[in-house]
Structure 1
Amino acid sequence: MSLKRNSLFNLAGLLLPLGLSLLTVPAYIHLIGVDRYGVLAIAWLLLGYFGMFDLGLGRATVHRIAELRDVAAAERRATFHTAVLVNAAIGVVGGILLALGAELFFANGLKVAPALKTELAAAAPLLGLSLPIATLTGVLTGALQGRERFASSNIAGVLSTVLFQGVPLAVAWLWGPNVSVLLLAGMATRLVTLVVLWAVCTREFGWDGRLRFDRAQIAPLLRFGGWITVASLIAPFLTIIDRFAIGAVMGAAAVTFYAIPYQMTQRIVIIPTALTNALFPRLSAMKSLEEAAMLSRESMLILVALMTAPVVLGVLLAGPALSAWLGDAFAARATLPAEILLVAFWFNALALLPFTMLQAGGRPQTVALVLAIELLPYLAALYLGLHHFGLVGCAAAFLLRCALDYALLSFHADRRATPVRPILTGAAMLGLAVGISRVTQPFSGHWLAAAALLLLLVAVETWRIAPARIRTPALERLASLRRPAPSPGQH
């Protein structure tokens, strides 16, 4: 199965939802307002965080089924069925805890208008019902990825996003912007996706009308998934705590000015996510450490080559893009946080590769340890940044955490997979991009000259570090374009 083809399937499955989000976010803000949008953002963050209650079974299912690639189909089917049954039970327990936690937070931990609190009355139970749907979706997707059926899993993912973005928006337009009704519409769309994934999985693994529980499959799943769970307790907390802190200190409206740049800049990880999702089952099945290290190093060079130029361009154009998209007033508050977040997610994108290497190599405990080490320094930086610099301070704290995350994960992964110089050079170029955007006016003469020079340097560095498997076809293609076409009489 082609790693390139699987990566492209993953990339398409991530790019299509991004385009849809760009279209629907302004419509959501227009229809429901910044306060309701901030509340919805926090509600979905709560659901995402409590998704840790799958006990890492989604990732463990990918790893285990990839390991069982060459065994009898019955053993893979037993793994799949066991993961589904265990996950369903755990999802129900997690859903109860989520409903209780969400009700407490909505009542006491979120600054919103009294009328909006009334709309939140039914939100907590709906989030609780949504959790088992979300965790089961993760296991079903993981089962397909373990078999490297990325086309099927991404088609289901695109369907999910289209419904999730479109149906609540239609509900808001037809019946008004009630938060609980919007959450109910979102839950219904996730249920449709779950049914579609189940139909695809039953074709892949076989189905005779009943689920078979195999005790022998529990130990390898939970042993791997247990450390994934430890990481899952910490990683989502590190990812979402900034917006909870902003909501508690500055109010729900401020969350919108941070959450939208965060959601948009976060999309740059679609390229490494597409690649590492395709790499994970491949690395899990590899027996040679040297072969895995060489594949990972080449993948890292490809990531740096592919990521740096778009992120540099994104930093340079963040202000004008936000002004054109959401207005000058919004851009005035969101541009600098967006620029900082772009640099942060560049580091986060690179960190996905050593993260994947460690987990695929059977070392999920190392990932959990690294995340635990980051926790207290990040909370301290977030507290200081928020209280002294507001949204900009939150973004800067997140940047420091992402850089530390990459450094620690790379240190513990195979160092043969870490090309240090290209990464430091890329980071320096991103710093220059932020500097240009701060000291020049967009599209002024100075801005154009500095941006053109920087992009030229980025292009030269990208070509220099690109692996031969990218440069050679590009040179051959260029040579064929320059070669004169044969005359009609030539053969």
Structure 2
Amino acid sequence: MQQSLSFKIIKNVAWNFIGNGWLIFLMFFTTPYIVRKLDINLYGVYVLVSTIIGYFGVLQLGLIHASIKYISQYLANDEKDKVRKAFWTCIFMYIIMGTLGTVIIYSFAGYFVQRFLSMPENLKGIAVTAIKIGSIGFLFVMITGVINGALRALLRFDLLNKIVVFFGTLQLLFTVALLYFGYSLTSIIASNVILQFLNIFVYWYYSVKELPCLAKPTFDAPLLLEMLKYGGFISIFSVTEPVLKSSEKIFLSSLWAVSSLTYYYIPQTIISRLAIIPSSVLNVLFPVFSRYHEQKESSINEELFSRSILYLQFIYVYIMFFLLFFGKAFFVLWIGNDFAQNSYNVMSVLAIAGLFNTISQPSSTLLMGFGRPHTLAFINVATTVIYLPVSYLAVKHYGPIGASCAWLFISVLGFFLLSVAAWQSLRFNIAKMCLNILYRILPASVFSLLIYWPLRRFHYPLIHPMTIFGIVLVTGVYFVSIWLWGLDDFARMRIREFFEATVMKFKGLFQRTG
């Protein structure tokens, strides 16, 4: 793998971690306050608003992924006019579909609440108003997705994450401030919509600055049909993905008290936030997979694929161990003992499910980059058909813990199916790759378990000196083990070069400012 490509990938992945990590850091400190100020039931309504609007992602028609793929390929061949056509064709299509989605969500808000949601009568009016306000933001999010897709295709994740950090921070600060001054849910959602609108102009400014060819609008009907052919299968994925991610929440809110949704949603949100681990890597690799597949560089893609699975596992397993052994103490400190009692087991099951989700993501990204969205669509339809009855029965009989077990089941199944499909695309030795991954992660895992397991038996609070010492010790042992036995010489060299370049950059910055 080329040195310049390695450095660029590491740089962009680092920016993704910084951007997403900052927002998780803010969420950690603001969520308890938001839950307390809204109360459990109203926070559940807040969750349901985003869930209902998320179901309309099917109207994206898969064109965001299509635009990134096509723009990446056109940039590789220096076809700027085709880049402009792909960009603006998607923009015009999304204005139409976004407006349609907004009208549907707004018009049927009352029906959604009355027909599908089980909640106190005094909250239904607030829920209807919140959904109507949130529907306006649906159009803005659609347009923003295409514009920032151009920056993704350019591999300008540094710019992308600076914008995400700025607006994400504003959104959380506005939420906390509005609650502090006595405003409620509808005001919070209205402020989010305003920020989404302003977001469009910032993304537009930087996209045109990086690609001046985008300044002049155009439309290409034949190209739209070609992109819809690719995106059509992605749109099937867009139908099944919200079902896979949200159906258990709908079942919980319908079959159980709305408070049970909060006990499930917050652990599930923490695990979903950990999706920054694969997304930080794979958002970078998707345009790279597309570009090198176009140039028939299969060896580069094979190496990127195998390394991405290995490195994602290194990072996630460390976090998973912490959640399994100290998740309950974490919830006690963060939100309270009652919440910890109701949510810890849910968190434990979801943490294991998250591992399978994380290491399956390189396979789905590879399939999209290789122009095989139909395979991804088939797998998602199959898993959705299986998941719906499993999830319903599990939630009906066991509540939040049943929902988490259903998610673990479907995560393992999805990992198996996606791995087989990726093997068919690359024809790598899957047994050899799996054994190599297990060999590299085993020393760090064993050493961590030997420290965590006896420490947990003492039931120390999270901020107890012995707990802190154990976590610090495991962190050191784990990552030293990864450095010695998990990484090869190539990876260690690239990491050293990246940090040396970063240090030199900061030295130069300090010298100029000094």
TM-score, normalised via structure 2 length: 0.84
Using the alignment, how far apart are the partners of 2:497 and 2:165 within structure 1? 35
* 1:380 aligns to 2:389 (yes or no): yes
Quote the offset at 1:211 in angstroms. 1.9
* 1:323 aligns to 2:332 (yes or no): yes
Q: Partner residue of 1:275?
A: 281
1:121–1:44: structure 2 CA closer, same or farther, 3 Å change rule? Answer: closer
Q: Partner residue of 1:416?
A: 428
1:453–1:275: structure 2 CA closer, same or farther, 3 Å change rule? Answer: closer
1:439–1:18: structure 2 CA closer, same or farther, 3 Å change rule? Answer: closer
**Which letter maps to 2:222?**
A
1:245–1:101: structure 2 CA closer, same or farther, 3 Å change rule? Answer: farther
In the TM superposition, what are the counterparts of 1:74-93 in structure 2 within 5 Å? 74-93=81-100
1:465–1:36: structure 2 CA closer, same or farther, 3 Å change rule? Answer: same
Using the alignment, how far apart are the partners of 2:264 and 2:476 within structure 1? 27
1:122 aligned to 113, 129, 134, which one?
129
Using the alignment, how far apart are the partners of 2:206 and 2:358 within structure 1? 30
Using the alignment, how far apart are the partners of 1:85 and 1:443 within structure 2? 58
In the TM superposition, what are the counterparts of 1:479-490 in structure 2 within 5 Å? none
Using the alignment, how far apart are the partners of 2:23 and 2:207 within structure 1? 22
CA-atom RMSD in angstroms: 3.1
1:158–1:220: structure 2 CA closer, same or farther, 3 Å change rule? Answer: farther
* 1:58 aligns to 2:64 (yes or no): yes
Helix, strand or coil at the partner of 1:369:
helix
1:139–1:476: structure 2 CA closer, same or farther, 3 Å change rule? Answer: closer
In the TM superposition, what are the counterparts of 1:362-381 in structure 2 within 5 Å? 362-381=371-390
* 1:139 aligns to 2:146 (yes or no): yes
1:417–1:268: structure 2 CA closer, same or farther, 3 Å change rule? Answer: farther
Q: Is the 8 A contact 1:58 1:141 kept in 2?
A: no
Q: Is the 8 A contact 1:262 1:338 kept in 2?
A: yes
Quote the offset at 1:455 in angstroms. 9.6
Using the alignment, how far apart are the partners of 2:139 and 2:497 within structure 1? 51
1:437–1:27: structure 2 CA closer, same or farther, 3 Å change rule? Answer: farther
Q: Partner residue of 1:465?
A: 486
2:209 aligned to 203, 213, 217, which one?
203
Helix, strand or coil at the partner of 2:117:
coil
Quote the offset at 1:28 in angstroms. 0.7
Q: Partner residue of 1:183?
A: 189
TM-score, normalised via structure 1 length: 0.88
Structure 2 spans left out of the alignment, 5+ residues: 499-514
1:314 aligned to 298, 323, 345, which one?
323
Deviation string, structure 1 residues 74-117 (Cα, Å, up to 9, x no partner):
22112111111111111111222233454322123222222212
Using the alignment, how far apart are the partners of 2:63 and 2:429 within structure 1? 27
Using the alignment, how far apart are the partners of 2:470 and 2:172 within structure 1? 38
Using the alignment, how far apart are the partners of 2:497 and 2:235 within structure 1? 47
Using the alignment, how far apart are the partners of 2:197 and 2:37 within structure 1? 25
Deviation string, structure 1 residues 206-259 (Cα, Å, up to 9, x no partner):
278752112232133212111110111001210111111111111221111111
1:382–1:190: structure 2 CA closer, same or farther, 3 Å change rule? Answer: same
**Which letter maps to 1:303?**
L
Q: Partner residue of 2:231?
A: 225
Identity across matched positions, percent: 22
Quote the offset at 1:295 in angstroms. 1.9
Using the alignment, how far apart are the partners of 1:64 and 1:404 within structure 2? 31
* 1:3 aligns to 2:9 (yes or no): yes
Larger CA deviation: 397-406 vs 412-421? 412-421
Using the alignment, how far apart are the partners of 1:150 and 1:198 within structure 2? 15
Quote the offset at 1:345 in angstroms. 1.1
1:105–1:370: structure 2 CA closer, same or farther, 3 Å change rule? Answer: same
Larger CA deviation: 259-268 vs 376-385? 376-385
Using the alignment, how far apart are the partners of 2:483 and 2:392 within structure 1? 37
1:427–1:369: structure 2 CA closer, same or farther, 3 Å change rule? Answer: farther
Larger CA deviation: 229-238 vs 388-397? 388-397
Deviation string, structure 1 residues 304-336 (Cα, Å, up to 9, x no partner):
222212221222111111100001111000111
Quote the offset at 1:439 in angstroms. 8.7
* 1:110 aligns to 2:122 (yes or no): no
Quote the offset at 1:454 in angstroms. 12
* 1:344 aligns to 2:353 (yes or no): yes
Would you say how many aligned residue pairs link Structure 1 and Structure 2? 474
1:462–1:379: structure 2 CA closer, same or farther, 3 Å change rule? Answer: farther
Q: Is the 8 A contact 1:62 1:143 kept in 2?
A: yes
Q: Is the 8 A contact 2:483 2:492 kept in 1?
A: no
Q: Is the 8 A contact 2:305 2:366 kept in 1?
A: yes
Using the alignment, how far apart are the partners of 1:229 and 1:82 within structure 2? 17
Q: Partner residue of 1:255?
A: 261
1:248–1:22: structure 2 CA closer, same or farther, 3 Å change rule? Answer: same
Q: Is the 8 A contact 2:261 2:400 kept in 1?
A: no
Helix, strand or coil at the partner of 1:416:
coil
In the TM superposition, what are the counterparts of 1:18-33 in structure 2 within 5 Å? 18-33=24-39
Quote the offset at 1:171 in angstroms. 2.1
* 1:164 aligns to 2:171 (yes or no): yes
1:192–1:353: structure 2 CA closer, same or farther, 3 Å change rule? Answer: same
Using the alignment, how far apart are the partners of 1:128 and 1:303 within structure 2? 35
Quote the offset at 1:339 in angstroms. 1.2
Deviation string, structure 1 residues 447-476 (Cα, Å, up to 9, x no partner):
989998999689747743323323457899
Structure 1 spans left out of the alignment, 5+ residues: 478-491
